[in-house]
Amino acid sequence: MVDLPGFYGKSGEDVRRLIERMKEDGVDGIVLDLRRNGGGLLDQAVELAGLFIEKGPVVQIKNYAGRVQALHDRDPEIAYDGPLVILVSKHSASASEIVAGALQDYGRAIIVGDIHTHGKGTVQTLYPLSQMIPTNAVADPGKLKFTIQKFYRIAGNSTQKDGVTPDIILPNVLNHMETGEAFLPNVMESDSIKPENFDHQHRISPYLNRLRMQTEERRNADTDFTYIAEDIEQVKAQQADKTVSLDEAARRAVNKERRGKIDIRIAERRQRGPMAERVTLLKWKKQNGTEKIEAITKQAPDPYLKLAAEEAEKKEVGEDPEPKDDKPKGEAKPEATKSDTKKTEPKKADAKATKAEPEADTDDAEIELEVPPIMRDIHLREALAILGDYVVLSGGTALVSDGDRPEENKAK
């Protein structure tokens, strides 16, 4: 799994190098996690999409005068041609939506996640009023923000307001909350233009119905998704109730009930026993002017047993243990400046985490690995399971449409 937090100056090249390292280990499939990616540099989005296609258009841009320009990947080299899943959320915005939309249009990747992405499909610029108002009259007259461009997918529809709708939608509380571009004031509407010419790869559609059935069966039997369903019902009830109690005792009772529910869930998860995954951290190191990727593998700690130890320690020093929220949190940032990439590879009992740190020092001290996301991240775990299903159904090879494949090889 490659976790890309933003499209910074060399993100495309960093992801390419990580893919090459993963291929050395015989990777069967890749999940590209863009859930917390709020965007960044447009050229890096085009470069990243180009890692998975031979060449062709990636996004269309229309300016305020109505002129349309298509940005192409012109590099025929493909960094990775195997099974690919892109994980998105309502926090995936701008450049993230360009990548997800393009690879969905090509039929190159399965898009998995929230009901839709953020819906940020426009470009703004600031115009300083000091060019029109003398500074001796007003010291700082401020600036005006103008929308000057709009993004369109190669299929012709815009990512503005509507975002990208995943091929497989996972239950999430965010799906039932008013978040995203569509709920902002004075939002620009979505529209469409003429589609670009591109070669559809038909690598997803032959298997999509089967993948949807398998993920639904798995979620119905997953206790963690039952917890999510309970949270969704609670949010719906809160949205329907337009009143707020002023009774302090009643409010405290509600809060106590919620905290108790969290404690029950954590206790249930601890009963599942320690997890067998090992974590491999692929860390960039720079030594004597040469960059290399170093692999460090160790047994991963069990997250819930770790929580129990932390709470016991707090009790020893007289602190009240705070119940831990069981949902992963992420914040979308409009412009990401951190140049790091994390990865957890779905290899059965092993998980791999990658972190790109070209400027890291050369200290060889033992690295304390974080708890791998797959152990706590319910949606990532399901995305990896979907990827596993896809690898099995497709045989891990380049796919063609049902009409082009022999009858005995078609997905049942």
In what helix (H) or strand (E) does residue 113 lie, and over which residues does it extend? strand 110-113
Residue pair 72/126 in contact by the 8 Å Cβ criterion:
no
Residue pair 258/235 in contact by the 8 Å Cβ criterion:
no
Strand order in the sheet with 110-113: 168-169, 110-113, 84-88, 30-33, 2-3, 342-343
Residue pair 159/101 in contact by the 8 Å Cβ criterion:
yes
Q: Which of 120, 161, 347, 352 is catalytic?
A: 120
Q: Which of 105, 167, 326, 389 is catalytic?
A: 105
Q: Does the annotation mark 120 as catalytic?
A: yes
Q: Which of 11, 89, 92, 94 is catalytic?
A: 94
In what helix (H) or strand (E) does residue 295 lie, and over which residues does it extend? strand 290-299
Give the whole-angstrom CA distance, residue 397 versus residue 380: 23
- Interacting residues of 343 by C-beta distance below 8 A, sequence separation 6+: 1, 2, 3, 18, 22, 282, 352, 353, 354, 355
Residue pair 327/261 in contact by the 8 Å Cβ criterion:
no
Give the whole-angstrom CA distance, residue 92 versus residue 39: 7
- Catalytic site positions: 94, 105, 120
